[in-house]
Structure 1
Amino acid sequence: MRMRVMGAAVVGALALSAFAVPAAQADEVHGDTKISNVVVNGGKAVVVGSTGTKTIPVSFTVTDNSGVSKAEAILYHGTDLDHSDTGAIANTSDGSSKCTKVNATTSTCTATYTLDTDFNLLNSTAGTWKVAAVGQGKDGNYVVRENAKTFQVQRASRLSANASPEPVKKGRTITVTGALTRANWDAHKYSGYAAQPVKLQFRKKGSSTYSTLKTVKTDSRGNLKTTTKATADGYYRFVFAGTSTTPAVTAAGDFIDVK
């Protein structure tokens, strides 16, 4: 049975679990502690398939004139931490980040997080996620940043293309079909991505460059079908530019022999 996503109550309770600081409702600064340089997944979007898990690294810098005592970050989807609809806690026993001293006032804090299609991912949670981060100095000063960084969590995409008939006489009509699908985290399979613009491109044999012939839209099941004139031997493919919830994807070129 599918587990429900981690809700705001759990996320909020764990967010400050390792800290002797008040449960802040938004950004809060006490003293000179600062958080900067937040990096999620190496700066790349997090793309997850229809099943399984994805483990991603998160790092950030904490500074305090007394030195850094501890730090923690959580990942969440929602308008704010109190109204999050899912989240991810660091894969450590206490949910905290490991802080490595850079100098007397600065530490780099790191942890890994797991996104799971059986736990904290639903189709509705694809898109923009946020990082809430807390840092504390050895003197008790602290900073809470509810939105220290945003990043994209996307449903993995697939795209196919098939041109026919082949061989074909020059000037005759060919039909190019294909399908655009993406991970369906609710159903644990790939499903068609409807009403999306996709480019049909052609590369002449011997050339390394594709040119766009037209733009077509997927149907209600994510299928593609269009026609064009055969002009020369070459490869036909579909190209999808991507959306905030789904990454760009390019189909492999399908060769047509023109007689």
Structure 2
Amino acid sequence: MTGALALTALAVPAAQADEAPKAEVSAFTAQAPADEDESSGDTRITKVVVNGGKSLSLGTTAKKTITAEVTATDPEGMYETDSFLWNGPGADAANNAIGFAGPTSPTGSCTEVNATTTTCKYSIVIDPAVVYNNTAGTWKLWVSAVGADGDFVTKNVAGTTKILRASTLTANAAPEPVKKGKPITVTGKLARANWDTLQYAGYSAQPVQLQFRAAGTSTYSTVKTVKTNASGNLSTTVTSVKDGYWRWNFTGSSTSTPVAAAGDFLDVR
């Protein structure tokens, strides 16, 4: 689901004796949930893990699966837990929403930890074709948990994760071979996934580290930092000292993944 979509606030009926609650979460609508969390009674959300605590790197073609795990408890036992991911400046101004299905869907399953506590696991496949550049970065997990007695809790931001634009980076050191003490030029290009066009494009004005690893060693050291030009290209000149590998290293940004280029071996004679 895309666009300014989100689940409506949960409507929970009063508990009825000998009657299971009839709380329901509506389908996606054009209205975002209330900007404030809501609760009634003693239902609690005790643990939330989104995508195993890791960011998701999304390119332009391959679909990726993102997961969420929610543990909730109520002294009378749990009836239902639902969740979805949303992105935007506030719950009342969501840019995009990704709906995790409820526990009755093939993409969700719930397990009773004990008589009062349930853990629900959700997953959904994300296609680059249904997200947009302005949604790269932090996503929030909305969660609603309903107890068997009708008590409930709804949190607009029960957890967070990052869905980032995948980055690519190249490196080339020349000329080769080269005499010791002579200048060499190291070039490269930093690009990232454009979800609006489903192509990779140069990433401009980004600081990228030039790194060197001497032959026979395993650790790269940073020599200098260079910013990409308007097309994402990199170029700098250094002095050749010894045989080894040159590479560019991008530490990432709030919207794009970190990436290191493969080292380019330079023969110094």
Amino acid at match of 1:255: F
2:129 aligned to 101, 104, 118, which one?
118
Partner of 1:254: 264
Amino acid at match of 1:110: K
Separation (CA, whole Å) in 2 of partners of 1:48 and 1:7 = 21
Deviation, 1:113, is 2.0
The alignment of Structure 1 onto Structure 2 pairs a total of residues equal to 252
2:7 aligned to 12, 18, 27, which one?
12
Is the CA contact 1:160–1:252 (under 8 Å) kept in the aligned structure 2? yes
**Are 1:106 and 2:110 counterparts?**
no
Separation (CA, whole Å) in 2 of partners of 1:112 and 1:210 = 37
Unmatched segments (≥5 aa) in structure 1 = none
Is the CA contact 1:175–1:228 (under 8 Å) kept in the aligned structure 2? yes
Partner of 1:164: 174
- The 3-state SS of whatever aligns with 1:42 is helix
TM-score, normalising length: structure 2 = 0.88
Separation (CA, whole Å) in 1 of partners of 2:73 and 2:238 = 60
Separation (CA, whole Å) in 1 of partners of 2:169 and 2:23 = 47
Deviation, 1:51, is 2.4
Amino acid at match of 1:115: I
Unmatched segments (≥5 aa) in structure 2 = 12-21, 27-31
Equivalent residues in 2 for 1:137-156 (5 A)? 137-156=147-166
Partner of 1:192: 202
Amino acid at match of 1:79: P
Is the CA contact 1:12–1:82 (under 8 Å) kept in the aligned structure 2? no
Equivalent residues in 2 for 1:1-259 (5 A)? 5-8=2-5, 11-13=6-8, 16=10, 19-20=23-24, 25=34, 26-91=36-101, 97-119=108-130, 121-259=131-269
Is the CA contact 1:72–1:95 (under 8 Å) kept in the aligned structure 2? no
TM-score, normalising length: structure 1 = 0.91
Separation (CA, whole Å) in 2 of partners of 1:50 and 1:222 = 18
Deviation, 1:98, is 2.5
Q: How has the CA–CA distance of structure 1 residues 210 and 248 changed in structure 2, closer, same or farther, with 3 Å as cutoff?
A: same
Is the CA contact 1:35–1:62 (under 8 Å) kept in the aligned structure 2? yes
- The 3-state SS of whatever aligns with 2:196 is coil
Q: RMSD of the alignment, in Å?
A: 2.2
- The 3-state SS of whatever aligns with 1:124 is helix
Separation (CA, whole Å) in 2 of partners of 1:152 and 1:178 = 27
Separation (CA, whole Å) in 2 of partners of 1:241 and 1:102 = 40
Deviations 1:56-79 (A, max 9, x none): 111010100000100000100012
Amino acid at match of 1:250: A
